[in-house]
Amino acid sequence: MARTHNKKQDKQSPADKDEDDSCRLDKWLWAARFFKTRSLAADAVDGGKVRIDGDRAKNAREMKPGMRVSIKNKDMQIEVEVLALSNVRRGAPEAALLYRETEESLRIRQQAQESGADHFAERDRGVGRPTKRQMRDIQRFTGRD
Alpha-carbon distance of 32 to 120, in angstroms, equals 28
- Judge contact between 32 and 92, C-beta under 8 A: no
The class of domain 17-142 in CATH terms is alpha beta
Q: Where are the domains of the chain?
A: 17-142
pLDDT at 53: 92
CA–CA distance, 40 with 28 (Å, rounded to integer): 12
According to DSSP, the β-strands at 68-72 and 77-82 are: antiparallel
Per-residue pLDDT 10s for the chain (145 aa) are 555 555 544 444 444 444 557 899 999 999 999 999 999 999 999 999 999 998 999 999 999 999 999 999 877 789 999 999 999 999 999 999 999 999 999 998 888 777 765 565 666 776 788 889 989 998 999 887 6
Among 70, 56, 67, 55, residue whose Cα is nearest residue 23: 67
Spatial neighbors of 64 by CB under 8 A, at least 6 apart, are 82, 85
Residue 8 is predicted with a pLDDT of 47
